[in-house]
Chains A and B, each alone.
Chain A
Amino acid sequence: MGEIDTNRRGVAATRLLPMSSLERADVARLAALARIDMTDEDLDRLSGQLAAIVDSVAKVAEVAGQDVPATSHPIPMSNVHRADEVRPSLAQDAALSGAPEAEDGRFRVPQILGEEA
Chain B
Amino acid sequence: MTDWTRASAAQMAAAMKAGEVTSVELTQAHLDRIAAVDADVHAFLHVDAEGALATAREVDEARAAGEELPALAGVPIAVKDILVTQGMPTTAGSRILEGWEPPYDATVTRKIREARMPILGKTNMDEFAMGSSTEHSGYGPTRNPWDLDRIPGGSGGGSAASLAAWEAPLAIGSDTGGSIRQPASVTGTVGVKPTYGGVSRYGAIALASSLDQLGPCARTVEDAAYLHEVMGGHDPMDATSLDEPVPSCVDAARQGREEDLAGVRIGVIKELSGEGYQAGVEQRFEESLELLKARGAEVVEVSCPSFEYALAAYYLILPSEASSNLAKFDSVRFGLRVEKATVEKTMGATRAEGFGDEVKRRIILGTYALSAGYYDAYYGSAQKVRTLIQRDFAAAFEQADVLVSPTTPTTPFKLGERLDDPLAMYLNDVATIPANLAGIPGMSLPSGTAPEDGLPTGFQILAPAHEDARMYRIGAALEKALAEQWGGHLTAQAPELEVAK
A residues sitting closer than 8 Å to B (CB atoms) are 2-8, 10-11, 13-17, 19, 22, 26-27, 30-38, 42, 45-46, 49-50, 52-54, 56-61, 63-64, 68-75, 77, 79-80, 82, 90, 94-95, 97-101, 107, 109-114
Inter-chain CA distance A46–B384, complex, in Å, is 28
A residues near B335, Cβ cutoff 8 Å = 98, 100
Beta-carbon contact of A94 and B103 below 8 Å: yes
CA distance A58 to B420 in the complex (A): 21
Do B348 and A100 touch (CB < 8 A)?
no
Chain A residues within an 8 Å CB radius of B375: 8, 11
Q: Mark B183-199, 1 if CB is under 8 A from A, else 0.
A: 00000000000011100
Assess whether B422 is in contact with A36, with CB atoms less than 8 Å apart. Answer: no
A-B complex: 10 closest residue pairs judged by Cβ atoms? A74-B439, A64-B384, A70-B383, A100-B337, A98-B334, A10-B372, A94-B103, A37-B352, A37-B348, A71-B386
Chain A: interface secondary structure?
A: loop
Taking a contact as CB atoms under 8 Å apart, the answer to whether B352 and A63 are in contact is no
Per-position 1/0 for B328-341, Cβ under 8 A of A: 00111111110111
CA distance A45 to B340 in the complex (A): 25
Number of A-B contacts (CB under 8 A): 219
Q: Which residues of B have CB within 8 Å of A63? A: 306, 309, 381, 384-385, 388
Give B441 Cβ to nearest chain A Cβ, in Å.
11
The distance from the CB of A92 to the nearest CB of chain B, in whole angstroms, is 11
Q: How far is the CB of B127 from chain A (nearest CB, A)?
A: 14
A37-B420 Cα distance, complex, nearest whole Å = 21
B438 neighbours in A (Cβ, 8 Å): 74
Q: Smallest distance from the beta carbon of A5 to chain B beta carbons, Å?
A: 4
User: Which residues of chain B have a CB within 8 Å of any CB of chain A?
Assistant: 100-104, 195-197, 210-211, 236, 239-240, 242, 306, 309, 312-313, 315-316, 323, 330-337, 339-349, 351-352, 355, 357, 360-361, 363-365, 367-368, 370-378, 380-388, 390, 420, 422-423, 436-440, 465
Instruction: Judge whether A98 and B103 touch: CB under 8 Å.
Output: yes
State A62–B197 Cα separation when bound (angstroms). Answer: 31
Please name 21 pairs of A and B residues whose Cβ atoms are closer than 8 Å in the assembled complex, sorted by A: A2-B373, A4-B368, A27-B364, A33-B367, A35-B347, A35-B348, A36-B360, A52-B423, A54-B368, A60-B309, A60-B313, A60-B382, A60-B384, A70-B387, A71-B387, A74-B440, A77-B197, A94-B104, A99-B332, A101-B337, A111-B341
Contact (Cβ within 8 A) B384 A95: no
Q: Are A74 and B196 in touch, CB under 8 angstroms?
A: yes
Residues in B with CB closer than 8 Å to A98 are: 100-103, 333-335
Residues of A within 8 A of B440 (CB): 74
Kindly state the separation between the CA atoms of A56 and B386 in the bound complex, as whole angstroms. Answer: 17
When the two chains form the complex, which single residue of B323, B336, B368, B377 contacts A16, counting CB atoms closer than 8 Å? Answer: B377
Contact between chains at B423 and A56 (CB < 8 Å): yes
Q: Is the CB of B365 within 8 A of A50?
A: yes
